[in-house]
Structure 1
Amino acid sequence: MAENMTTTLNSTSFTTPPSPLNTTVITSNATVKPFSVFDGCDLQVEGILFDLTVQIFNVIVGLPANILVIAILIHNRKEPSTSDIFLGCLAFMDAYFGTMVPFSFLNLYYWHSKEVWSAIKFSYGVKDTSGPLFLSCICLDRFVAVLFPVAFSQLKDTKYRAGLSVLVLCLTFAYASAKTVGGLPNFEKVFTGEVLATFTWMIVCNLSILWALKKSRGAGKDEMHPMKKKAFKMVLFILCIIICNYLPPVVLFPFEDYYPPDAFRCYVQPVGFAFINISSSIQPLIYLSRLEQVPFLPDACIQRCRTCCKAEKNKIPPAQNPPA
């Protein structure tokens, strides 16, 4: 009796056709989109590689420059300027973004890890939001200082800028988290609206500052005050950098609906973001160029450079030597 039951069970187990289960599994697998580190641009990788190639400059130049800016701000913390907290946050975010570039290359060609790709997408979200928003905060600080000096003197307390920085960080991490999760409808238009608003604000602020500095010469004065002239040149230089970094995405991204979806995602977006991403190197270099003396460099090295420059400047060519 037991043998007959065992035979029946074995016969039943062998005669059960597994094909419907396998067919269902194959069908479900066919509907699942396979993971790709190129985010759907496996056959159109030129734009992504262009962006990553540009970012190599951020690793070689931008990362050390941002670390140096952070060190200088910490060194000068006893005599800070009003924008130092914004500059420090911006330099920290740019340095973090620069450290993720090697992981991007490694994940594209070796790891192919979904978790690493999520971390890279988070860093892209941080860069997308922190750069424009903190630059807007710096422009706001300068705008109030030049055009409304009385109100600026009443708002010099650090708590106002710290609170604004916390708000910007919250917006940054919220945007970066949403970008990492993905799948949100029309999510690209959030960044398009953000970059349009911040770009317009920065242009208006800097043009207003330039107009106010130009107007402040006073009646009958042809020359601007040296400090105001220096500020005028710096704001003008920053305005040019803002236009170079943010004008391409401002011009390209609003016309997303006019591009084929694959062309926009694989070509237009990476090229537009490349102009924004290179700002991680340009911004700290602008700050360092404003300093009369860079800390942490030996005084002997600085003095030697000054001596060499002075000797080269005062050097008389042999043809101009007076006859003996």
Structure 2
Amino acid sequence: MNSSSTSSHQNSSFSSSETPWNPCPSSPYGVMTFFTVEAVNIMFGLPVNAWTIWTISHSSRSIQASEVFPLNSALLEFVYISFSFLRPLNYFFIKSAFLYTFNLFFYGLLSAGRPLFQSCVCVERYLGVVHPITYLRYNSVRTRLCALPLVWALTLFFCVCHVVKLHLPFLVLFLLLLVLQGLCCVSVLQVLHQPSPGEGNEDQVDPAKKKAFVTVLLIQVMMVLNYLPTVLIVPLRGRLSRHTYLCQLIPASLSFSVFGSFIQPLMYLMRRRK
């Protein structure tokens, strides 16, 4: 009787020290790793995304159709990075449940908004290479502006899903976008192996088509590296110990998803030679 009461008292005291913003007070190494990755992401991502936004918005010419999705993607990344410092601030000092929920909402920008805009770029490159006539017909800023409300609405929907901790919609989104990007990548690669009209040598590849393939391939690699770890650990919930799952696997998978905010805008700046 005494031993059971002592055990229950120890369990209650352990659980009482846990909070939503600090679920692993006895094992902070996973969270510290995540904060380190976020610090690196802030250091590189904030200036690169800010420079991308400034370059597109302050260009001497009007915004091109191909710049609509990169601009919105850079805005999304910039907003997320700007608020990401609140997470360690709340973890160490503020310790607010409201701020924890606020951070959950903005993490939805990264987990849903980034792959959605990346997929828009992939479809754009796919149409430009595989269906050039269709691409030229709809290659306008107005066409992209019609798609933007849908992309942002889906992003906000997944932000809410993240707050209420619905994981299934993220799994479905990841799988659908992964298949979509894979089809775009394979289709562009098939076109690259076909000689263009008037070219007798298959080794001669249109530089624009080659750049499109590199862009689509890199986006797909980023998609897999960013979000596949999170998808893989979801089925392990309940099969591993709570400490292993919550204090080690979750911070590790989130570290993969956070990293890379600067890669796509950096690609744009390199194309513009900025």
Task: Give TM class, smaller chain.
Answer: 0.7 to 0.9
Distance 1:268 1:262 in 2: 9
CA RMSD of aligned residues (A): 2.7
Aligned in 2, Cα 1:127/1:233: closer, same or farther, shift over 3 Å? closer
Find the counterpart in structure 2 of residue 220 from structure 1. Answer: 201
**Structure 1 residues not aligned, in runs of 5+:** 1-29, 295-324
Inter-partner Cα distance in structure 2 for 1:240 and 1:148 = 23
1:210: Cα distance to partner? Answer: 2.4
TM-fit CA distance, 1:227 = 3.6
- Tell me what 2:29 maps to: 46
**Distance of aligned partners of 1:137 and 1:255 in 2 relative to their CA distance in 1, 3 Å threshold:** farther
**Other-structure match for 1:310:** none
Q: CA deviation at 1:291?
A: 2.3
Selected match of 2:178 from 178, 196, 199: 199
| Identical columns (%) | 26
**TM-score normalised to structure 2 length:** 0.82
* Partner of residue 88, structure 1: 71
1:159 paired with 2:142, answer yes
The residue type equivalent to 2:257 in the other structure is I
Query: Per-residue deviation at 1:132?
Result: 0.9
1:66 has 2:49 as partner: yes
Cα deviation code 1:245-278 (max 9, x no counterpart): 3443344445546444553333323222221211
- From 118, 121, 128, give the equivalent of 2:101: 118
Q: 2:28 and 2:90 mapped to 1: Cα distance?
A: 14
8 Å CA contact 2:22–2:91 kept in 1: the answer is no
Task: Report the Cα offset of residue 34 of structure 1.
Answer: 8.1
Query: CA 1:125–1:242 in 2, change beyond 3 Å: closer, same or farther?
Result: closer
Q: Is the 8 A contact 1:210 1:235 kept in 2?
A: no
- Aligned residue for 1:170? 153
- Indicate if the aligned counterparts of 1:90 and 1:134 stay in contact, CA closer than 8 A: yes
Kindly state the Cα deviation for residue 154 of structure 1 after the two structures are TM-superposed.
Answer: 1.7
Q: How does 1:17-32 map to 2 (within 5 A)?
A: none
Question: In the TM superposition, what is the alpha-carbon distance from 1:33 to its structure 2 partner?
Answer: 7.7
Indicate the residue corresponding to 2:9 in structure 1. none
Rate the CA distance shift 1:256–1:206 in 2: closer, same or farther, 3 A: farther
Kept in 2, the 8 Å contact 1:124–1:176? The answer is yes
What amino acid is the match of 1:201?
Answer: L
Between the aligned partners of 1:191 and 1:227, the Cα distance in structure 2 is 33
Give the 3-state SS of the residue equivalent to 1:40 in structure 2. Answer: coil
**TM superposition shift of 1:237:** 3.9
Aligned residue for 1:279, secondary structure, equals coil
Cα deviation, 1:143-171, whole Å, max 9, x if unaligned, reads 11111111112212333322221111111
**C-alpha distance 228-133 of structure 1, shift in aligned 2 (>3 A):** closer
Q: Does the 8 A contact of 2:195 with 2:202 survive in 1?
A: no
- Structure 2 residue runs without a partner (length 5+): 1-12
Matched, 1:275 2:266: no
- CA displacement at 1:43 relative to structure 2: 3.2
Residue type of the partner of 1:153? Answer: L
Letter in 2 for 1:159: R
Number of residues of Structure 1 aligned to a counterpart in Structure 2: 259
CA distance in structure 2 between the partners assigned to 1:155 and 1:136 by the alignment: 17
Bigger radius of gyration: 1
Aligned residue runs from structure 1 range 290-301, under 5 A: 290-292=271-273, 294=274
User: Match of 2:187, as an amino acid?
Assistant: S
Greater relative contact order (Cα < 8 A, sep 6+): 2
Contact 1:199 1:246 (C-alpha < 8 Å) held by counterparts: no
